[in-house]
């Protein structure tokens, strides 16, 4: 693989490349040398990334944590529901699943029951990456569910900003709250704000 081909592959894939995309021994040698000189970083076994791609605040979740779902602070930031700037990427995965994380970028894993990963999740293209993320109503319900971990002030801010959105769907919000067993708590929050 010549340098131009490596560059093209990296540009086409948001700065990421896997050993499976390397076609010959010479191409693999190029990949190894780029890692040695620091042009590429090995994220995990078989996955490499350019330094510039890591500067982006969005990562290729599917390559780093296959079937992972952006949630909580990462979703709050995407939907502009909070002024909190996430210090790491928040990714939900199925409970008891083992995932090996790279040292960089910082990632916080949340282990959810399988049934909680089966609703309120959408696929979006964010900063050139196709990622799974909780939809806006699910994100609000997660803020209520994890209110003691994220803080009541952050939870309140998420709800307040959600209520200002024109595209909100209150009936879907109640449906998700019921599934997550936080409907009464959410109703109390909404009654004080509406």
At 15-36, the pLDDT tens digits run 778 777 777 777 778 788 887 7
Interstrand relation of 107-112 and 89-94 (parallel, antiparallel or unpaired): parallel
Helix (H, G, I), strand (E, B) or coil at 27: helix
At 40-70, the pLDDT tens digits run 777 667 777 775 555 455 666 788 888 999 9
Domain boundaries, the chain: 3-55, 61-193
- How far, in Å, CA of 83 to CA of 81, rounded? 7
pTM (2 d.p.): 0.71
For residue 136 the two structure tokens come to 């806006």
- How far, in Å, CA of 55 to CA of 165, rounded? 30
- How far, in Å, CA of 150 to CA of 143, rounded? 7
């Amino acid at each position: 693989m010549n340098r131009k081909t490596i560059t093209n592959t990296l540009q086409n894939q948001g700065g990421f490349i896997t050993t499976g995309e390397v076609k010959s021994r010479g191409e693999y040698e190029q990949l190894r040398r780029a890692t040695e000189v620091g042009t590429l970083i090995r994220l995990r076994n078989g996955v490499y990334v350019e330094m510039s791609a890591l500067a982006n605040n969005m990562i290729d979740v599917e390559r780093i944590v296959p079937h992972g779902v952006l949630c909580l602070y990462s979703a709050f930031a995407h939907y502009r529901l909070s002024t909190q700037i996430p210090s790491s990427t928040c990714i939900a995965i199925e409970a008891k699943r083992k995932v090996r994380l790279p040292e960089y970028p910082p990632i916080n894993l949340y282990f959810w029951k399988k049934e909680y990963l089966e609703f309120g999740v959408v696929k979006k293209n964010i900063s050139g990456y196709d990622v799974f993320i909780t939809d806006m109503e699910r994100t609000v319900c997660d803020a209520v569910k994890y209110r003691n971990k994220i803080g009541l002030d952050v939870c309140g801010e998420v709800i307040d900003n959600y209520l200002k959105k024109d595209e909100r769907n209150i009936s879907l919000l109640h449906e998700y709250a019921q599934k997550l067993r936080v409907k009464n708590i959410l109703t109390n929050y909404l009654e004080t704000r509406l």
